[in-house]
Structure 1
């Protein structure tokens, strides 16, 4: 459970129940600085209720030009590479792109199957739960959720193609970053992880892709848990922070700027800032190759073009009486990208469980990792045999 400390006197509930929304707290003072710790380590905190400008910029200490050990290297050591989903197109290596940016060979696709970076925790004999990050993010966002689930489940987090430490082929060289391609590739990677039924947890703008996959594979799923998904018509438009990457030329330039592509994109969607060590993991792919930026540019264009239709389809699927998968929506109410308006009504109409986290932003697994881990574990206990 997150530990919250404030300069004001707060009346906090004595006990937290993972299936009952914690009531919002009204403050008398106009300005309250509230620090939320996602673990018992006082050094692992971030600032809540910060102005929008806080967290928009980070220094480069410990980054590309530092001789100090990188947190990204430590994270990479915890994972492994899994090959899944056929390389399309010609299967050739990407050409040198504009601006003279080098395309790191290790981040491009092989000639047969794509290479996905994943981190596993827990016994492979336990029920599997696959944790899917949002746009733009990485499997790293679930780093504190994994150990909570590993006690009784086989927890797996992976980087989508184009993100983190997975393959990042240049568009037209094996993968064009359309939402249809992501949907098809998801089937390949899920089957690679488990031949049995699984629970899928997905955050943010990749939720419609996962729901469309789930529609045709309901027999494969035990549960579906959506973390701040775009559920309403208003949610179908990308926020300006992400839409800028889809612009002609300007988007291509901004997607090569690590501070815009990683730091600002991650911190502008909620009232908090991350630790520098965590920011360095997210920033690392953009520092070592132009591949990450060109992938970001391509997926932004696809999202801007296709997201509306995918959100509409997701709404129809989740409202359809033929939908039989146990579905839970977990919502961080301090999301600056997606409004809570209409979410509660949608969950009531579709008869899906809604769990709210008043202190979390768009990336709830970052903001309230322990709560999210316990919520997922609680849902799984009801529907899976341990």
Structure 2
């Protein structure tokens, strides 16, 4: 059950949602723009049986106090200070962060101040790298460089009813999966007198976060917090390149790209909850819980029961291949993501492997009708560089351990001429 509370921090009423037993590992959920702790309304009860979850609203967001610009310094430094007071008021000593959008710059400020308190990081479209900022940020960068009314008005377009809704629907795979309650509530809260000026001040201050990216990356490299990345890969605000960048600095990293947009929880909440449950079970140990120090999680605890079926009763294997990611393609680099269903990708070959359940397999990859192909069992993104400008195609075949093709997909694309 989720409960609802308010605590006074520096004279401000900070609203927060709470679920789960406080004796269990704590996950501190930090929300993004233009929303509030409301974005975690479904995730919290899904994990409350095993974890303690806390989701605050920042000043000026959700149901927390909304002092005017004259009464409060709306910067990310100040929001982090209030959240530090919130953590102290609740007596949280050790916790994992869920970092999403604005939650990332707030959470990384807190993590670098007290790295000893951070058990793990869960990063969902929470940026810490320049690569993650694409064309969406051009109006914002113009505003940072020249704070004119005209540039401010362009930034304000993200706060119109259409702009707010766009955060949710852009990149979503099925609009019928999205509840209109989300953008309707966000709009009502942003339409409060003075709130859009507050949001504009924070958007102007967002540039301070970019200056801290090197510091946050150094924190990741030095402390190596176990990190789960679950990223809506169709987000146009925080590009998928920002997700891949985490791989440079982290060794204990679980990485999942989801076929959805900025607010990935709206469409992929069940999948994200499953990833968090397995990840936290692997890396977080506390006394007096199922994760107690004297309890070693079994394989079944972590991955669930093994689906042992006779081969003839298994569902057919499927291959799903996405078009090349547009941003790298515009620069002459081809990133093709693919996944399989009802088949495990493993480097196991030969006739005997045909009878293994769940079914085993791999992919053959052929570029431009070449007389040879290469074999992949990683499931990682296929990256092609050095292709000449012009039209190309990539054949991806799903094959069994004897290299018999089960199904295939052909991807057609054009590499642009960079000299034009």
What is the TM-score normalised by the length of structure 2? 0.59
5+ residue gaps, structure 2, are: 290-420
What SS class does the counterpart of residue 137 from structure 1 fall into?
coil
Which residue number corresponds to residue 85 of structure 2? Answer: 188
Farther off after superposition, 344-353 or 147-156: 344-353
Runs of 4+ in 1 over 3 A off after TM superposition: 244-258, 264-274
Query: Deviation at 1:249?
Result: 3.4
Q: Is contact 2:131–2:241 with CA below 8 Å preserved after alignment?
A: no
Q: Give me the whole-angstrom Cα distance separating, in 2, the residues matched to 1:272 and 1:278.
A: 15
The answer to which structure, 1 or 2, has the higher relative contact order (CA under 8 A, 6+ apart) is 1
String of CA shifts for 1:100-148, please: whole Å, max 9, x gaps.
xxxxxxxxxxxxx211121111223332211111233211111110011
Q: Aligned partners of 1:170 and 1:365: how far apart in 2?
A: 31
Note the C-alpha offset of 1:324: 4.6
Aligned residues of 2:96 and 2:120 also touching (Cα < 8 A): yes
1:153 alignment counterpart? 51
Counterpart among 96, 120, 142 of residue 223 in structure 1: 120
CA 283–306 in structure 1, closer or farther in 2 if over 3 Å, else same: same
Q: CA deviation digits over 1:4-62, x for unaligned, max 9?
A: xxxxxxxxxxxxxxxxxxxxxxxxxxxxxxxxxxxxxxxxxxxxxxxxxxxxxxxxxxx
Give the aligned partner of residue 58 of structure 1.
none
Deviation, 1:206, is 3.1
Query: Could you list the runs of 5+ residues in structure 1 that have no partner in the other structure?
Result: 1-76, 87-112
Q: What secondary structure does 1:239 align onto?
A: helix
Map of 1:99 onto structure 2: none
**Structure 1 residues 341, 252: CA separation in 2 closer, same or farther (over 3 Å shift)?**
closer
SS of alignment partner, residue 222 of structure 1: strand
Match of 1:122 among 12, 17, 20: 20
**Superposed displacement of residue 349, structure 1:** 4.1
Aligned equivalents of 1:156 and 1:340: distance in 2? Answer: 27
Q: CA deviation at 1:268?
A: 4.0
- Conserved in 2, the CA contact under 8 Å of 1:208 and 1:314? no
Retained in 2: the 8 A contact 1:161–1:168?
yes
| Pairs aligned (count) | 278
1:103-252 alignment, distance < 5 Å: 113-173=11-71, 175-236=72-133, 239-240=136-137, 243=140, 248-250=148-150, 251=152
Counterpart of 2:212 (choices 310, 313, 316) is: 310
Q: Aligned in 2, Cα 1:341/1:256: closer, same or farther, shift over 3 Å?
A: closer
1:8 alignment counterpart: none
Task: From the two aligned structures, give the one with the greater strand fraction.
Answer: 2
Task: Please say if residues 170 and 234 of structure 2, whose CA atoms lie closer than 8 Å, have aligned partners that are also in contact.
Answer: no
Could you say which residue in structure 1 is the equivalent of 2:199?
A: 296
**2 CA distance for matches of 1:293 and 1:157?**
23
Q: CA RMSD in A?
A: 2.9
Q: Deviation per CA, 1:188-223: give whole Å up to 9, x if none.
A: 112223333111111124313311211221222221
3-state secondary structure, aligned to 1:164: coil
Q: 1:150 to 1:235 in 2, by over 3 A?
A: same
Distance of 2:212 and 2:75 partners within structure 1: 12
In the TM superposition, residue 260 of structure 1 has moved relative to its aligned partner by 4.6
Task: Tell me what 2:285 maps to.
Answer: 384
Structure-2 change in CA distance of 1:292 and 1:79 (3 Å) = farther
How far did 1:271 drift? 5.4
Larger Rg: 1 or 2? Answer: 2
Q: TM-score, normalised by structure 1?
A: 0.64
1:350 aligned to 2:250? yes
